[in-house]
Amino acid sequence: MVRLVVLGCSGGYPAPNRACSGYLVETARSRIWLDAGSGTLSRLFARCSLADVDAVWLTHLHPDHWTDLPLAIHALAIGASRAEEAIAIYGPEGWASAIGVDLRWQGPGDDDLYDERALHDDLVATVRDLTVRSVAVEHGVEAYGLRIEAEGRSLAYSGDSAPCEALVRLAKNVDLFLCAAGTMTSSPIHPNPRQAGELATAAGARHLVLTHLAPGSDAAEALALAASAYAGPLSLAVEGSEFEL
C-alpha cells in the first residue's frame, strides 16, 4: 500500500479555512512529509505525530511551501514528540538559515532535532521502503520536483514549476502525477490546468491530480481544462483527500 494524503493544497496563500501546500506519503513502513505550508502541521498532527515522520522534503523556498516547518521543529524542541533519531529534512542548499530555524533557542539536545540535507538535481534518497529522486525544475528560484517509488508503485510531485521537459521525465509512466496548477491563465512559473493535462499526457501518467489552485479558482473549470488535454483518470486535491496507488 502506498497512500498520498493531502494536508493542504491552497496555492500562494491560505484561502479561508484552507492550508497551503503539504502532503503526506505513507506506506506500511514509512511516512514522509512533502512541503510544509501554512496549516499543514495541524493537519499532520490529526493523523500522526512528528516522531512517526521519517523525513521531510521542501521543494523550494517560497513561503507557502515551508512556513509550518519552523513550528514543527519548535514543537520537537519543546517535547511535542521526539523520534529516536534526528529527522532528515531535505531542501535547497542553505534552507535552514533561509527559513530561520537556526534562530531557535539552544536547549539540551536541540542540535539533534533535525539533519539538514541539501537537494540537487537527480539526488536519490532512500527512506525505509521508499525511494525519492529530486529533479531540478523551472520556477525562477531553485526548485525541485520529486518522484517517489515504493512497493512497485510510483508518484510524481511537480512542486512548483513552469511546464518543462524535466516534469515530463519526472512523471514518466507514474501511477499518480500530483501537478501544481497555480494559474488559470498563463504564468512563467506555473502551468495552468490545461498545461498540466498536456504534461500528464506527454508523460503517460496513469492518474492526474491537480493541486495548488490559487484561492478563488473555479474547480470545475480547472478539471474541464485539464480533461481537454488528458483522457485518463483526473482528480482535484482537497484537504483531507487520500489517494491509494
The DSSP string of 93-153 is TTHHHHHTGGGS---TTGGGSEEEEE--TTEEEEETTEEEEEEE--SSSS-EEEEEEETTE
For 110-146, the pLDDT digits (tens) are 667 899 999 999 999 999 999 999 999 999 999 999 9
Q: What is the DSSP letter of 5?
A: E
25 close to 49: Cβ distance less than 8 angstroms? no
Query: Percent of the chain beyond pLDDT 70?
Result: 96
Position 163 in a domain: yes
Q: Is 230 among the domain residues?
A: yes
d(CA 214, CA 98): 25
The torsion of the CA quartet 126, 127, 132, 134, rounded to 10 degrees, works out to -80
Task: Read off the pTM.
Answer: 0.96
Q: Is there a domain that residue 20 lies in?
A: yes
For residues 57 and 90, what is the distance between their CA atoms, to the nearest angstrom?
5
On whether residue 22 sits in a domain, the answer given is yes
Range of the domain at 85: 3-238
Question: Looking at the domain assignment, is residue 243 inside a domain?
Answer: no
From CA 71, how far away is CA 80, in angstroms rounded? 11
**C-beta separation of 165 from 198 below 8 A:** no
The answer to whether position 174 is within a domain reads yes
User: In this structure, is residue 25 part of a structural domain?
Assistant: yes
Distance CA 214, CA 208 (A): 18
In a domain, 244, yes or no: no
CATH number for the domain spanning 234: value is: 3.60.15.10
Number of domains in the chain: 1
Write out pLDDT tens, residues 29-70: 999 999 999 999 999 999 999 999 999 999 999 999 999 999
